[in-house]
Amino acid sequence: MFEQIRANKRKSVALIAAFVVLLVLVGAAIGVLVGYGIAGTIIALVLAGTMAALSYWKSDAIALRVSRAQPADPDQYRRLHNLVEGLCIASGLPKPAVYIVDDPAPNAFATGRDPKHAAIAVTTGLLEKMNRVELEGVLAHELSHVRNYDILVSTLTVTLVGSIAILTDLGIRMMWWNGGRVRRSGDRNDSGNPLALIGFALLIFAPIIAKLMQAAVSRKRETLADVSACQMTRYPPGLISALEKLRDDTTVTHSSTTATAHLWIEQPMSGVADKGRLGRFHQMFDTHPPLEERIELLREL
């Protein structure tokens, strides 16, 4: 397990680097298509550096705000705070900030850049539908993400995926309204420029590539967090029961977005487990392994 944690850290560095490279390429493509050339690439580099820095320092706050999370009152949510404190003492972690999301769907996520700057958010639906042992299993899963340093790459991904989506949308709109330098000059012979064609293709496919990378960020980390949670609580049936309830519940988590979907303990968006003709295609973009697979793995412990 500890080797897997180290491998995840190495993969995290590679994935974040890949996100930054993709962000730079998108910016450079916009520069080529609207006629800014090298200047566009320089702007893209500056923007990528700025977004990476913003992601590191502020993406946890962004994720919490996007999810409409509010600080959990210690008196009103005493049981929740007690469970988090107990698990932190048992695992040697500093207590993270605890948040509540007003949403009827049972779900939870962790965010932050390291264990000293972490936060856990749970929905009101989770508190209503889980008993104490099940809730402890879910919280242990999220604290495992904190202990395994999954939260850093997962939280950075929120901002980087959103940045790529915004940039590609902006680039396509600029092309639509302005036509780029080539078109304004009236020289249509350059419209077949290979660089321009590559740039246009990149703008179209960059959001899809970013989604595939987002899915790669989360899948193995979820399984590892499940196993780590059982090690933390020393009671696998608690998390197994919680995952079974999550599997059987069909409520959509309205507080989630496509950018934050990978943060939650289960796939929060609608359309999960599509068995139609495009089911295999849709599974490529799933941010979580199937709950049934996770449950079966825990039963083998």
Catalytic residues: 142
Q: What span, in angstroms and rounded, lies between the C-alpha atoms of 64 and 120?
A: 9
Residue pair 263/111 in contact by the 8 Å Cβ criterion: yes
Q: What span, in angstroms and rounded, lies between the C-alpha atoms of 187 and 63?
A: 45
Please state, as a whole number, how many other Cβ atoms lie within 10 Å of the Cβ of residue 295: 18
Question: Distance from CA of residue 109 to its chain's centroid?
Answer: 10
Q: Where are the alpha helices (DSSP H) in the chain?
A: 2-34, 37-66, 78-91, 124-129, 132-147, 150-178, 180-185, 194-233, 236-248, 279-283, 291-299
Instruction: Return the ∠ at Cα 289 (arms to 17 and 139), rounded to 5°.
Output: 90
Q: Which of 87, 16, 94, 97 lies closest to 64 in space, CA to CA?
A: 97
CA distances from 14 to 18, 19, 213 (A): 6, 9, 11
